[in-house]
Amino acid sequence: GDSVTQMEGPVTLSEEAFLTINCTYTATGYPSLFWYVQYPGEGLQLLLKATKADDKGSNKGFEATYRKETTSFHLEKGSVQVSDSAVYFCALSPLWAGGTSYGKLTFGQGTILTVHP
Amino acid sequence: EAQVTQNPRYLITVTGKKLTVTCSQNMNHEYMSWYRQDPGLGLRQIYYSMNVEATDKGDVPEGYKVSRKEKRNFPLILESPSPNQTSLYFCASSPSAGGRETQYFGPGTRLLVL
Chain B: nearest CA to A112, how far in angstroms? Answer: 11
Q: Which of B50, B52, B80 is nearest to B65 (CA)?
A: B80
- pLDDT digit string, tens, across residues B31-88: 999 999 998 888 999 999 999 988 999 999 999 999 999 999 999 999 999 999 999 9
Among all residues of chain B, which has the CA nearest to that of A2?
A: B59
Chain B: nearest CA to A64, how far in angstroms? Answer: 16
B43 interaction partners in chain A (CB closer than 8 Å) = 44, 89, 105, 107
pLDDT computed for residue A103 by the predictor: 73
Interface check for B88 against chain A (CB to CB < 8 A): the answer is: no
Residue B30: is its pLDDT beyond 80?
yes
Q: Which phi and psi angles does A67 have, rounded to 5°?
A: -110, 100
pLDDT computed for residue B38 by the predictor: 93
Q: How many Cβ atoms are within 10 Å of B70's Cβ, its own excluded?
A: 10
Q: How many Cβ atoms are within 10 Å of B74's Cβ, its own excluded?
A: 29
Chain A: nearest CA to B16, how far in angstroms? Answer: 27
Q: Which of A64, A3, A32, A43 is nearest to B109 (CA)?
A: A43
What is the longest distance spanned by two Cα atoms in chain B? Answer: 40
Residue A97: is its pLDDT beyond 80?
no
Residue A99: is its pLDDT beyond 60?
no
